[in-house]
Amino acid sequence: MSDLIRIVDLDVMARIGVPDEERAEPQRLLISVEMSCDPFSRAAETDNLAWTINYFEVAERIKSVTAQRPRKLLETLAEDLAFDLLKTFPIKKIALEIKKFILPEAKYVSVVIERPQPES
């Protein structure tokens, strides 16, 4: 059994898009992440952050990875984020959604991925 920590619609800026001119200036993305983790019972009993996932650090890591380099595809950013977060934090499974506001006729476009912790 796993418990969940969610960060919903984290506002980040990224240089992303297929045409060069779209990547010329950073654009706004909203990133949501759902992290399956060990049950909260030990963290709750001890009231100790060491027994859970520090969601502030996760949010900072998302902003850092997103800003590292330009990318053409949301899919590339989603894979980069999932790989990095699974490697860095004690996450059993991750689900990510990245929203981009590029089509004037649509509220947003998004990609969603789910990845398990790789087997050791």
Catalytic residue among 72, 92, 100, 107: 100
Residue 60: in which H helix or E strand, if any?
helix 55-67
Cα–Cα distance between 5 and 115 in angstroms, integer? 15
Is the dihedral angle over the CA atoms 112, 80, 12, 9 positive or is it negative? positive
pLDDT on residue 1:
59
Do 58 and 12 form a contact (C-beta atoms < 8 A)?
no
Residue tagged 């998302």 (tokens): 62
Q: Which two tokens stand for residue 85?
A: 């977060």
Q: Which two tokens stand for residue 7?
A: 């960060």
Domain boundaries, the chain: 3-116
> For 66, which DSSP code?
H
Cα–Cα distance between 31 and 27 in angstroms, integer? 13
CB atoms within 10 A of CB 4: 11
pLDDT tens-digit profile, the chain (120 residues): 579 999 999 999 999 999 999 999 999 999 999 999 989 999 999 999 999 999 999 999 999 999 999 999 999 999 999 999 999 999 999 999 999 999 999 999 999 999 999 876
Do 98 and 33 form a contact (C-beta atoms < 8 A)?
no
pLDDT on residue 2:
77
Q: Say whether 102 sits in a helix, a strand or coil.
A: coil
- Domain 3-116 sits in CATH at 3.30.1130.10
87 as an active site residue: the answer is no
pLDDT on residue 118:
84
